[in-house]
Structure 1
Amino acid sequence: MYATAMAAERPNIVYINADDLGVMDVGFNNSIYKTPNIDKLRDEGMLFTRAYAPAANCAPSRACVMSGQYGPRHGVYTVSNSDRGLARHRKLIPIENTKHLDPKVLTIAGALRQEGYKTIHLGKWHLGEDPTQQGFDINVGGSTSGGPPRGYYLPVKQGPLEVFNDQYPKKTHTADVLADQAVKFINANKNGDDPLFIHMAYYLIHTPFVPVKGMVDKYADRGKKKATYASMIEKMDESIGKLMKGLDDAGLHANTLVLFTSDNGAHSDVSPQKPHRSGKGSYFEGGIRVPVVVRWPGRVEAGSTCDAPVCGIDFFPTFLEAAASPVPTGKVLDGISLVSLLTQSGSIQARALFWHFPIYLQAYAGEADDSHDPCFRTRPGTAMRQGKWKFHEYFEDGRLELYDLDSDPSERTNVAKQFPEKTQELHRMMTAWRSDLGAPVPTKLNPKYDPDGMGGSKQKEQEEVGQVPTGHLGMKQSGRNRSVGKVASPKNE
């Protein structure tokens, strides 16, 4: 199916996925953060200036990338349950969430392994118990956990990284463990006939925010929380540098495609993504715009730029074409290959990008969430981008919002009434897309909904919320929900 004019020697593929790193958190975007190794990748490769995550928080974004499919096909819409926030604030009963990616779904790793690639996952998985059940030969540190299991430093008392407690000195940062294990995998296979697929999925910069010794002090003038955040970014960048050096030392630089990105936007209270509105968990631009850089020596022009809107669902077909591999029989892919853009050998067909979120995601940082209301970062709806237009539909009240991203990148001025024909056109496209994918839309009313019940005691909130923060992300442990008996998911997911 794909062109066979690729190099006879298939490239190694390194997919680096940061956690909760905003598009404005990298040095080459005039960031206040220093990322020399990521910046070097940008200098040696292509930057996609309008790149998007396929979802606004961790598990759904990763499920979309790994499957190559939009959320309605696999049903992973959020982390944990979908009825987040206070019951009396939810007008609709949300669609039930699928917490993990079905092991029967063919992943990028599974498809490449079928084509002879040796595959390794390192770091955060969040899509099931064990990545080796979903296409990887080796798993280093991956599990169902959304945050760093038991912390960022060895020794850890439980979790998939516990096995390394006796292999590294105490207080070794897990980012160093991941880089070292990746380099060992590279060296063990550098002389083999099989190409490599390395999925480096950092837990950084996910909460808990833990200062990195030897790095945090240089950012002291920014305040404790932002200094900690900056040190964690620097630590991840340092680890990426170690991984790149490992490729160079093994003689694999010239035949390795490296893609760097993030799973979603940043926490907007710690790292505002201006000019983009909001952050992680929101379907405004700040929640879904991410950095994407691809280095592929001999194929991608160093320092090049692409302005075409692209999305994480495009990585699966891109990696397949780079590997000169066909789409597996029966596999449905919603993305498109970006190889023609990378090699500047052609263009891609104009298209719209979609985000479907039939769920509720509760507020996290108050006013810093920069959402529509103080209760939720996300209410049920669908969003799309076509050309310069960003279009939102919200299911609770049928509200339609249209933004011109060229003149209004912060999505502040709803011009739906000024452009009724464009609004209707995009709404028809969105409705047709949902119909084609069988995307579920919540319609059942929540009997506990109280439009006037914005206040209430802390005790009442804990009884209603459906999910009170757990302790695994460094937050205080709360009790179980008294009405439904569920342990809630993390507040900051």
Structure 2
Amino acid sequence: MMRYLLAFVGFLVVSLASLLHAADRPNVLFIYLDDFGWRDCGFMGTDFYETPNLDALAASGMVFTNAYSCAANCAPARACLLSGQYTPRHEVYNVGTGRRGKAKYGSLKHIPGVDVLSPDIRTWAAQIHDAGYRTATIGKWHLSDDPIPYGFDFNFAGTHGGSPPKGYFPPHPKAPGLEDAPEDEYLTDRLTDEAIGFIDRNQDANWLLYLTHFAVHTPLQGQPDLVAKYEAKPKGDLHDHAVMAAMIESVDRGIGRIVRQLDSLGLREKTAIVFTSDNGGYGPATSMAPLQGYKGTYFEGGIREPFFVVWPGNVKPGTKCETPVIQVDLYPTLCEMTGASLPTGQVQDGRSLVPLLVGSDAWKERAIFWHFPAYLDSYSRIDGQRDPIYRSRPCSIIRRGDWKLHEYFEDGKLLLFNLKDDIGESNDVSIANADVTKAMHDELLAWREATGAPVPIEPNPKYDAAAESRAMKGKKKK
């Protein structure tokens, strides 16, 4: 009898400890924007767009000024984020698996990769769900037909599609939950409504909400009253696009509404808020200056992102971190914050940011990497890329400390930049710093071997060098 009594008491102690642990764990609001550039918000320096709610949130946490996506366009960036792995491991290299650009341009066959994140990969959502959280994804998914098998209890609007379903106004065919959207409903506002609804329904539980806005991805469509507001506003030296400004304000207003709801429910101090974007801004409508490049390029403007973390009681408000970090780091970070375990037997390429967030000095310099064995064709803007035909050609990139090395596989070109002195990557110093170039390249080669990164070497049988040369000269004349 005593043995059963002791066992029961032990059960109560363990259960009570589990409940206390759950009470101490934060809810997580993870806001992930689409094509939102490094300088597209007030706290990062815009002189035209208005983001008062984002600015207030950023001021209440830690802003990372050297934060990166793992890819310069949507699908591979999201695959890296959800898996915690660099592109060679999950093999999502581009949006789709086909060649992006005319077949006669580009001397190599691209590596097609895959266009679905393997369901065998355990996401951080799955790990956190198994740790007792209710999980939701609201908005863009882009990694498979259905996000539910990847660890989410609830999906709203997420499909394999990468663009807003037929734009920001109805109809929205084949988008879960949006089939009967009111005629004048703006998509960004609806996603905000759904986010608030999820929080309301789960206010007595631990929850994680992945609010992955379609905004500010094309098509560029703003609410008419906001577009008119910015058309009447004096242009900035950095930014001046009225429709982009209207789209950004809609996102910002929605974030303000969510934060006010957290306050009204008494959940603000119990909720960690993470904010970032999937890749650089849309070049024809915004600017990341002084960074070179935009979405689709592996210059800083294509991969450096606005990023902050608010974690009441853990992150000191009004702090900044200059340490280079990358989005594979968010997998171990989110798991550590929520008390979730890391998956057994699954490689993690990132490092938890918790030591940086809490002000610990337990952080050693490390290199971060990008691998893009494909082609990404140009659009109307061409001033921020190596050539006028492609935003990116097959390449690998490494950053360590202030140094950043590009390797391009078609011509074997190595470009070395010191970002401390040359954040705009305008001065290749590879020859003047041959020892650094060699050391960085050796480390990049070792990383590719360790990850099994495929390098395109097979000639493109449809390549027409003369046609490519004519096209490049023609575009440069425009």
TM-score normalised to structure 1 length: 0.88
SS in 2 for 1:214: helix
Alignment of 1:191-206 (within 5 A): 191-192=204-205, 195-206=206-217
Counterpart residue type for residue 420 of structure 2: D
Shift of 1:161: 3.9
Aligned to 1:423: 437
Residue 400 (1) aligns with residue 414 (2)? yes
Alignment of 1:86-235 (within 5 A): 86-165=102-181, 169-192=182-205, 195-221=206-232, 226-235=241-250
Shift of 1:345: 2.4
Shift of 1:82: 4.3
Write the distance in 2 (CA, Å) between the matches of 1:116 and 1:366.
47
Within the candidate set 57, 60, 82, 1:44 is matched to: 60
Alignment of 1:222-261 (within 5 A): 226-261=241-276
Within the candidate set 306, 311, 322, 1:291 is matched to: 306
8 Å Cα contact 1:82/1:361 also seen in 2: no
CA distances 1:355-386 after superposition (whole Å, capped 9, x unpaired): 00000001112434x21111100000101111
8 Å Cα contact 2:35/2:215 also seen in 1: yes
Within the candidate set 80, 83, 91, 1:67 is matched to: 83
8 Å Cα contact 1:107/1:135 also seen in 2: yes
Aligned to 1:464: none
Write the distance in 2 (CA, Å) between the matches of 1:247 and 1:104.
34
Write the distance in 2 (CA, Å) between the matches of 1:118 and 1:156.
27
Within the candidate set 39, 44, 48, 1:29 is matched to: 44
Shift of 1:389: 0.5
Counterpart residue type for residue 29 of structure 2: V
Residue 81 (1) aligns with residue 103 (2)? no
8 Å Cα contact 1:22/1:264 also seen in 2: yes
Counterpart residue type for residue 85 of structure 2: Q
8 Å Cα contact 2:173/2:179 also seen in 1: no
Write the distance in 2 (CA, Å) between the matches of 1:215 and 1:412.
36
Counterpart residue type for residue 46 of structure 2: S
Write the distance in 1 (CA, Å) between the matches of 2:21 and 2:280.
34
Counterpart residue type for residue 62 of structure 1: R
Alignment of 1:256-275 (within 5 A): 256-275=271-290
SS in 1 for 2:468: coil
Aligned residues: 448
SS in 2 for 1:162: coil
Write the distance in 1 (CA, Å) between the matches of 2:364 and 2:313.
25
Q: Which runs of 5+ in 2 are unaligned?
A: 1-17, 472-478
Aligned to 1:316: 331
Counterpart residue type for residue 122 of structure 1: I
Shift of 1:214: 1.9
Alignment of 1:363-402 (within 5 A): 363-368=378-383, 370-402=384-416
Q: Which has the higher helix share?
A: 2
Q: 1:176 to 1:114 in 2, by over 3 A?
A: same
Shift of 1:8: 5.9
Counterpart residue type for residue 219 of structure 1: Y
Aligned to 1:18: 33
CA distances 1:155-194 after superposition (whole Å, capped 9, x unpaired): 43442243452xxx431111121111111111111123xx
Shift of 1:105: 1.1
8 Å Cα contact 1:150/1:158 also seen in 2: no
SS in 1 for 2:369: strand
8 Å Cα contact 2:29/2:271 also seen in 1: yes
Write the distance in 2 (CA, Å) between the matches of 1:447 and 1:46.
50
Bigger CA drift: 343-352 or 104-113? 343-352
8 Å Cα contact 2:131/2:339 also seen in 1: no
Write the distance in 2 (CA, Å) between the matches of 1:336 and 1:22.
24
Across the aligned residues of Structure 1 and Structure 2, the Cα RMSD in angstroms comes to 1.9
- Computing the radius of gyration from Cα coordinates, the structure with the larger value is 2
Aligned to 1:479: none
Aligned to 2:5: none
Q: 1:95 to 1:220 in 2, by over 3 A?
A: same
8 Å Cα contact 1:155/1:171 also seen in 2: no
Bigger CA drift: 223-232 or 420-429? 223-232
Write the distance in 2 (CA, Å) between the matches of 1:157 and 1:98.
25
Shift of 1:211: 2.3
TM-score normalised to structure 2 length: 0.90
Q: Which runs of 5+ in 1 are unaligned?
A: 458-493
CA distances 1:55-107 after superposition (whole Å, capped 9, x unpaired): 10001000000000000000001101342112221100011121121112111
8 Å Cα contact 2:283/2:381 also seen in 1: no
Write the distance in 2 (CA, Å) between the matches of 1:437 and 1:47.
30
Q: 1:273 to 1:214 in 2, by over 3 A?
A: same
SS in 2 for 1:402: strand
Q: 1:182 to 1:211 in 2, by over 3 A?
A: closer
SS in 2 for 1:128: coil
8 Å Cα contact 1:278/1:286 also seen in 2: yes
Bigger CA drift: 355-364 or 326-335? 326-335
SS in 1 for 2:429: coil
Aligned to 1:279: 294
